[in-house]
Amino acid sequence: MHRLLLLSCLWLLAAPPASSIFQRPTGTPAPARLQYLLEPLHPTVHTQRGATATLPCVLRALPSNYRVKWSKVEPANYRENIIIITNGLYHKNYGPLSPRVRLRHSHRYDASLTITNVALEDEGRYRCQLVNGLEDESVSLTLHLEGVVFPYQPSNGRYKFNYHEAKRACEQQDSRLATYQQLYKAWTEGLDWCNAGWILDGTVHYPIINSREPCGGRLLLPGVRTYGARDKQKDRFDAFCFTSALQGQVYFIRGHLNFKEAGQACRNHGAAIAKVGQLYSAWKFSQLDRCDGGWLADGSVRYPITTPRERCGGLPDPGVRSFGFPSKEMRTYGTYCFVG
């Protein structure tokens, strides 16, 4: 016992002070202090599709011969795409965002970026960079869209999409491939799905709330399970799609319609048969709640439930229920229509 106490005392004498344990290693430069740009008070800006959002970038001083460059980091290819460059007097827009972006310029120190009619693909990380010779500095901001993630597979079964087909399938359903952050958030909100699916950066995952044998076994903890990066051409999985608020309305037409008649019924009302992403959006943002199965544009039959009840599938949680892809000749269901 005395020997142990002696060794403990010797270790404490030899150990560095507590503060030095966490000191930066010798030779590692300290983070550069911003000289001209103000650190944003809120680095994440929350918005919805169709809204107008402003990403703040404010200068504390105006250096001579400076430029401010806004760019967006794309997770699918890890590139930075330039959006706008200004010298305080003139500016030039670049890329696909060009028609929808402008500088707020509420005063001469304001280089904030305003995006109008926010689209699904606008979500992500943005960089405001002050270009001033050797004294370049930048701040990063994240544009976050409120939305919903849903798993998607085609009519011919699971694990049929390569990456590019999954990306196209989500876009055809008024959505886009989800990011990892969107999928993770959906998991924290209760998304539990056993089939693996592509996400935007080309990796493959599936979210599990209730561990079970067909989904990796009962011994694995809940979480977002990952297959990592896969071959975008050869490997085949489902897709995890993301959609946000609608600029329009989804509504139900009752009847005993086959798929062709369902589409015509919507057109007769000046609408179009709804896409899967539109139904999920109406369920999430408009609390659309119907116990009636209805045709959608991809040939599937689904219905949205916000208040679970025994006679509407009996499941305890809200969600969009699916009857799969029945024969398009069946005259059993109504249809969900979308008008913008």
> What does the pLDDT look like over 173-212, one tens digit per residue?
999 999 999 999 999 999 999 999 999 999 999 999 999 8
Q: Are residues 236 and 260 in the same domain?
A: no
Task: Let me know if residue 263 belongs to a domain.
Answer: yes
Helices (H), 23-177: 163-172
pLDDT > 70: percent of the chain: 89
Q: Are residues 256 and 313 in the same domain?
A: yes
Q: Are residues 230 and 151 in the same domain?
A: yes
The pLDDT assigned to 79 comes to 83
Domain of 230, in residue numbers? 147-243
Task: Let me know if residue 191 belongs to a domain.
Answer: yes
**Domain-terminating residue out of 107, 130, 145:** 145
The pLDDT assigned to 13 comes to 30
Q: Is the dihedral of CA 326, 328, 330, 335 positive or negative?
A: positive
Cβ atoms of 214 and 125 within 8 Å: the answer is no
Buried b (16+ CB within 10 A) or exposed e, 133-171: eeeeebbebbbbbebbbbbbbbeeeeebbbbebbbebbe
CATH number at residue 173: 3.10.100.10
Domain count, the chain: 3
Report the C-alpha gap between 295 and 306 in whole angstroms: 19
Report the C-alpha gap between 267 and 264 in whole angstroms: 5
pTM: 0.83
Q: Are residues 86 and 106 in the same domain?
A: yes
The pLDDT assigned to 35 comes to 87
Task: Let me know if residue 167 belongs to a domain.
Answer: yes
The pLDDT assigned to 75 comes to 66
Mean pLDDT of the chain: 89
Q: Are residues 278 and 230 in the same domain?
A: no
The pLDDT assigned to 151 comes to 98
Mean pLDDT per block of 10 residues along the chain (340 residues) reads: 34 31 42 82 95 96 91 79 93 95 95 97 94 85 97 96 98 97 96 96 95 85 94 98 96 97 98 98 97 98 96 91 97 97
Q: What are phi and psi of 150, to 5 degrees?
A: -140, 145
The pLDDT assigned to 219 comes to 84
> What does the pLDDT look like over 239-260, one tens digit per residue?
999 999 998 999 999 999 999 9
Task: Let me know if residue 1 belongs to a domain.
Answer: no
Task: Let me know if residue 22 belongs to a domain.
Answer: no
